[in-house]
């Protein structure tokens, strides 16, 4: 275990200094992620927003409140990387495009994810949003298809829509997600955290 911890800690130190995308970012690189070896649950999200860039804390906003509600976990559990690790597709705030957050930078996940996941080995992986789903589960034509499939035949991973208010229309059209899907997710999360 000591070797795993040392290797993970060295990787974290290296990733925090990452400047792969510096030329394309609106601010100085500020990689935001939270990981621990042998975590129970891994959340692969999109990229930090401006608030996260400024605070250094992922999902520290209304989207995070909704995500924690979906998972039925407290902030203390959510921000304990031994319980829940957070690894975005892009570690740094990518700026804005057409009045919304820009997509995650494409250089980040190929450079870092595999290296981190070798240490994390989660019981459950949760892909939040279209960018994570397209990267890891590209065989699904739509996010809705990916979400439905992972809830009807769970295989230690789930796909969720992004918890942003921008997806309120999707949630209104797909009421099954909250009434039928979330109880399944919450049960799986509870089991993973208590085993």
Q: What domains does the chain contain, in order, with CATH numbers? A: 2-193 (3.40.470.10)
DSSP-based three-state secondary structure for 77? helix
User: Does residue 139 register a pLDDT over 70?
Assistant: yes
Q: Which two tokens stand for residue 69?
A: 């509600």
Buried b (16+ CB within 10 A) or exposed e, 104-118: bbeebbeebbeebbe
User: Does residue 27 register a pLDDT over 90?
Assistant: yes
pLDDT at position 154 is 63
pLDDT at position 99 is 83
- Its pTM stands at 0.95
pLDDT at position 41 is 98
Burial of residue 173, with CB atoms counted within 10 A of its CB: 0-12 exposed, 13-18 middle, 19 or more buried: exposed
Size (the chain), residues: 195
Q: Which two tokens stand for residue 76?
A: 């203390």
User: Does residue 166 register a pLDDT over 80?
Assistant: yes
Instruction: Please state, in angstroms and rounded to a whole number, the distance separating the CA atoms of residues 89 and 23.
Output: 18
Under the banding of pLDDT at 50, 70 and 90, the label for residue 2 is: confident
Cα dihedral 126/132/133/138 (nearest 10): -140
Averaged pLDDT, 51-72 = 95
Which residue in the block uniquely carries the two structure tokens 């570690």?
91
User: Does residue 38 register a pLDDT over 70?
Assistant: yes
User: Does residue 63 register a pLDDT over 70?
Assistant: yes
Average per-residue pLDDT for the chain? 95
């Amino acid at each position: 275990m000591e070797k795993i911890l040392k290797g993970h800690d060295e990787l974290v130190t290296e990733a925090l200094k990452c400047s792969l995308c510096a030329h394309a970012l609106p601010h100085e690189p500020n990689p935001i992620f939270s990981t621990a070896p042998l975590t129970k649950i891994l959340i692969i999200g999109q990229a930090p927003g401006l608030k996260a860039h400024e605070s250094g804390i992922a999902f520290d906003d209304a989207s995070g409140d909704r995500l924690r509600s979906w998972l039925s976990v407290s902030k203390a559990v959510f921000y304990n990387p031994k319980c829940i690790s957070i690894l975005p597709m892009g570690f740094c705030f990518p700026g804005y495009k057409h009045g919304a957050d820009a997509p995650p930078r494409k250089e980040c996940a190929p450079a870092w994810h595999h290296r981190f996941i070798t240490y994390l080995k989660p019981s459950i992986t949760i892909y939040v949003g279209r960018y994570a789903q397209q990267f890891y589960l590209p065989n699904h034509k739509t996010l809705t298809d990916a979400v439905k499939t992972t809830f009807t035949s769970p295989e230690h991973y789930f796909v969720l829509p992004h918890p942003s208010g921008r997806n309120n229309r999707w949630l209104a059209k797909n009421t099954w997600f909250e009434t039928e899907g979330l109880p399944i997710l919450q049960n799986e999360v509870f089991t993973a955290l208590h085993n």
